Amino acid sequence: MLLADPAAPAFSWNLLADFQQMWSYPFMVNAFRAGTVVAVVAGVVGWFTVLRRQTFAGHTLSVVAFPGAALATLLGLSVPLGYLGACLAGALVIAALRERGCSGGAEESAATGTVQASALACGFLFVTLYKGLLGGPQALLFGTFLGITTDQVVLLAVAGGLVLAVLALVGRPLLFASLDPDVAAARGVPVRLLGTAFLLLLGAATAEAGQITGSLLVFALLVVPAATARQLTARPAPGLALAVLLGLAACWLGLLTAYYQPYPLGFCVTTFAFTGYLLAHLARALRGRSGRTPRPTGGPA
Amino acid sequence: MTTTLHQPFFQHALTAGTAIALASGLIGYFLVLRAQTFTGDTLSHVAFTGAMAALAGGYDLRLGLYAATIGAAVLLGLLGRRGRPDDVVIGTLFSWILGLGTFFLTLYTTHRSTTRGNAGTSVLFGSLYGLDGVRTATAVLIALALTAATLLIARPLLFTSLDEAVATARGVPARALGVGFLVLAGACAAEATQAVGSLLLLGLLAAPAGAAVRLTDRPYRALALSAVLAVLQMWGGLTLSAAVPPLPPSFAVMAVAAACYAAAALVRPAPVRRTGP
């Protein structure tokens, strides 16, 4: 029971011709540009997220993006600005909750869960009030590649460049603080400040990724490529490069598939990202069996 | 507003909502205590995919809901170390499952029917006012069964949640309990999805329990408080949505829940941390 639209362009396996045909539409060019920016930023930030075990925070931020975008639509503002504003505000809230000493364990996850559910509820309210949103809340929740304008791509690129620049500046101390917060604090690294700064970066990256995959599927570009990369290597530099490459691959393949199929972009991107993750697991299992010592899983607890 | 309160749809929503809130409050407390809120989140996403798959295949929505959430609960319980799976594994799996849900959603809305184009929205955000008499009765029965089952295993579950090593040494089957509890949580997620929707269900699970944990340190008192708060939030939310018609009921319930949690956090700000993580 697969869908087939006779009016849809057909994939010819001649990649050059396919891309030429696809890129004759400005919106597809913009979609690919935006996807590339997002995949790079999300891959790098995601690697740190997985290392710092803040995937739940990443998920919450992505969920906060939904009411932001819905409110921006309701008020007639720029949607990317709505994403960014909501995510940065959400990051500050999470950081503030953390500052108040309820980090770790049950308390924090209950707080995050509550923030998340009420954010979604607000988004639902805004969408209900707006009524005219094409396809209901689903475009915001599950992603679309239609209607990305050149202005939005520029905004994405500027915000992404800023995130990467800040991350390049704080990268080394952040890595230190993530791997061993106690020793880093003893050595004079401002661990807490770095934590807040990283949450802000995570917010910005999430806002970017949310515009491609939709706010519910941000994980596909943020966490899955990074988790896959960490399956394959534990070293920072190759890991970061691998995460970016995997994110790019998932995003481009997803866009390509979504162009030729009626299925939503979010589904395509998550499927490719998840396939990569499974393959990485398989490769690791095979490597472990062939006699090499398996690498330790995960980062610091 | 008084006319709304006497409408059958409101009475159904109130009855089913109360039972569902009771079960969610109890199960949510254990989820929070065991720091498994993220698992609850996963279950809610799985519920969406299950419901959509059932609709796309032409089956009853609830069949898909229960099959998906209970299946996912067993999988998560077995996957993780001692019934507590890793965050990254969960996240990766659920993002793909959610993606699969959008796939089924597309299949359903373009293929099966054009009139039910908002099915996705109603599964995501709930349709508490759409329950009829039979579905209300089923919902109440299932929620009461879940409540009874949770209370039955409450004591050993509390023991393993608080101190797993000692509990295992004393002969409590920690792993079986962990999986069993996840199955209960899965069934609860499926049940609550019909009321507040798969996306907002986390609030019903986490907010009352989080507030209860804030307000008291004693386990049984917190457990009872969590259930009471959940029920009160459901009533408050439904009343609010009856008083202010543009507010969808699931939003109103969530708003009251978030307000309760914020109030609890203000009343008793930061608990003293005994051990750093």
Residue of A74, A180, A270, A281 for testing the chain B interface, max B β-carbons within 10 Å = A270
DSSP state of B81: B
- Asked if B271's CB is within 8 angstroms of A223's CB, the reply is no
User: What's the domain range around A169?
Assistant: 25-100+110-216
Angle at A270 between CA B75 and CA B191, to 5 degrees: 45
Q: What is the ipTM of this complex?
A: 0.79
pLDDT for res A297: 46
State in Å, rounded, how far the first CA of chain A is from the last one: 45
pLDDT in tens, A160-207: 999 999 999 888 888 888 888 888 888 888 888 888 889 899 998 888
Residue of B199, B204, B225, B266 for testing the chain A interface, max A β-carbons within 10 Å = B199
- Asked if A125's CB is within 8 angstroms of B107's CB, the reply is no
Residue A208 has pLDDT above 90, yes or no: no
- Assign residue A147 the CATH number of its domain: 1.10.3470.10
Residue of A nearest to B250 (CA): A121
Residues near A203 by beta carbon (within 8 Å), at least 6 away in sequence = A61, A87, A88, A90, A91
- Asked if B271's CB is within 8 angstroms of A109's CB, the reply is no
pLDDT in tens, A22-78: 777 887 888 888 889 989 999 999 999 888 888 878 888 888 888 888 888 888 887
CB A180 within 8 A of CB A166: no
* Token duo for residue B160: 């393993």
Is A8 within the bounds of a domain?
A: no
pLDDT for res A265: 81
- Asked if B125's CB is within 8 angstroms of A103's CB, the reply is no
* Residue A301, min C-alpha distance to chain B (Å): 9
Confidence band for A10, pLDDT divided at 50, 70 and 90:
low
Mean pLDDT of A145-155: 79
Q: Which of residues 217-236 of B touch A (CB under 8 A)?
A: none
- Between CA A99 and CA A299 the distance in angstroms is 23
Residues near B220 by beta carbon (within 8 Å), at least 6 away in sequence = none
- Asked if A102's CB is within 8 angstroms of B271's CB, the reply is yes
* Residue B149, min C-alpha distance to chain A (Å): 23
- Between CA B271 and CA B55 the distance in angstroms is 45
Q: Alpha helix (H) ranges present in chain A?
A: 15-22, 26-52, 55-75, 79-99, 105-130, 138-142, 150-179, 181-186, 191-213, 219-222, 224-232, 236-260, 265-289
B200, B273, B276 ranked by CB distance to A117: nearest: B200
Query: B266 CB near a chain A CB, below 8 Å?
Result: no
**C-alpha dihedral, B58 to B63 to B69 to B74, nearest 10°:** -120
Helices B8-33 & B174-196 angle (0-180, nearest 10): 150
- Asked if A274's CB is within 8 angstroms of B95's CB, the reply is yes
Query: B205 CB near a chain A CB, below 8 Å?
Result: yes
* Residue A112, min C-alpha distance to chain B (Å): 9
Q: Which of residues 18-57 of A touch B (CB under 8 A)?
A: 50, 53, 55-56
Is A298 within the bounds of a domain?
A: no
Is A141 within the bounds of a domain?
A: yes
Q: Alpha helix (H) ranges present in chain B?
A: 2-6, 8-33, 37-57, 61-79, 87-107, 119-125, 133-152, 154-162, 164-169, 174-196, 201-215, 219-243, 249-267
Ramachandran angles phi, psi of B84, nearest 5°: -125, 90
Angle at A141 between CA A276 and CA A119, to 5 degrees: 115
Residue of B nearest to A118 (CA): B254
B134-140 long-range contacts (CB < 8 A, ≥24 apart) are B135/B12, B135/B16, B135/B194, B136/B12, B136/B15, B136/B16, B138/B62, B139/B16, B139/B19, B139/B20, B139/B191, B139/B194, B139/B195, B140/B15, B140/B16, B140/B19
pLDDT for res A298: 44
Query: A120 CB near a chain B CB, below 8 Å?
Result: yes
Average pLDDT over chain A, rounded to an integer? 80
Is A134 within the bounds of a domain?
A: yes
CATH code assigned to B2-265: 1.10.3470.10
Residue of B nearest to A220 (CA): B95
Residue identified by tokens 């080394």 is A172
pLDDT tens series, chain B, 277 aa:
567 777 888 888 888 888 989 999 999 898 888 877 777 778 888 888 888 888 888 888 888 888 988 988 888 777 665 545 566 777 787 788 888 888 888 787 766 555 555 666 777 777 777 777 888 888 889 889 999 998 988 888 888 888 778 888 888 887 888 888 888 988 988 888 877 787 778 888 888 888 888 888 888 888 999 999 999 988 998 888 888 877 888 888 888 888 888 888 887 655 544 444 4
Contacts of A109 in chain B (CB under 8 A): 32, 35, 37-38, 206
The total domain count for chain A is 1
pLDDT for res B104: 85
**pTM > 0.90:** no
pLDDT for res A195: 86
- Asked if A216's CB is within 8 angstroms of B248's CB, the reply is no
Query: A200 CB near a chain B CB, below 8 Å?
Result: no
Is A221 within the bounds of a domain?
A: no
- Asked if B107's CB is within 8 angstroms of A298's CB, the reply is no
Residue A248 has pLDDT above 50, yes or no: yes
pLDDT for res A165: 93
Amino acid at B172: V
Contacts of A124 in chain B (CB under 8 A): 124-125, 199-200, 248, 250-251
Residue of A nearest to B269 (CA): A100
**Would you call B84 helix, strand, or coil by DSSP?**
strand
Residue A133 has pLDDT above 80, yes or no: no
CB A215 within 8 A of CB A66: yes
DSSP state of A180: -
Q: How many CB contacts within 8 angstroms connect chain A with chain B? A: 201
**Would you call A54 helix, strand, or coil by DSSP?**
coil
Residues near B24 by beta carbon (within 8 Å), at least 6 away in sequence = B188, B192, B201, B204, B205, B208, B230
**Would you call A201 helix, strand, or coil by DSSP?**
helix
Confidence band for A244, pLDDT divided at 50, 70 and 90:
very high
- Asked if B95's CB is within 8 angstroms of A217's CB, the reply is yes
Q: Determine what percent of chain A is predicted with pLDDT higher than 70.
A: 84
Mean pLDDT of A255-267: 81
Residue A300: how many other CB atoms lie within 10 Å: 11
pLDDT in tens, A78-94: 778 888 888 898 888 88
Q: Which of residues 25-54 of B touch A (CB under 8 A)?
A: 32-35, 37-38, 40-41, 45
pLDDT for res A137: 66
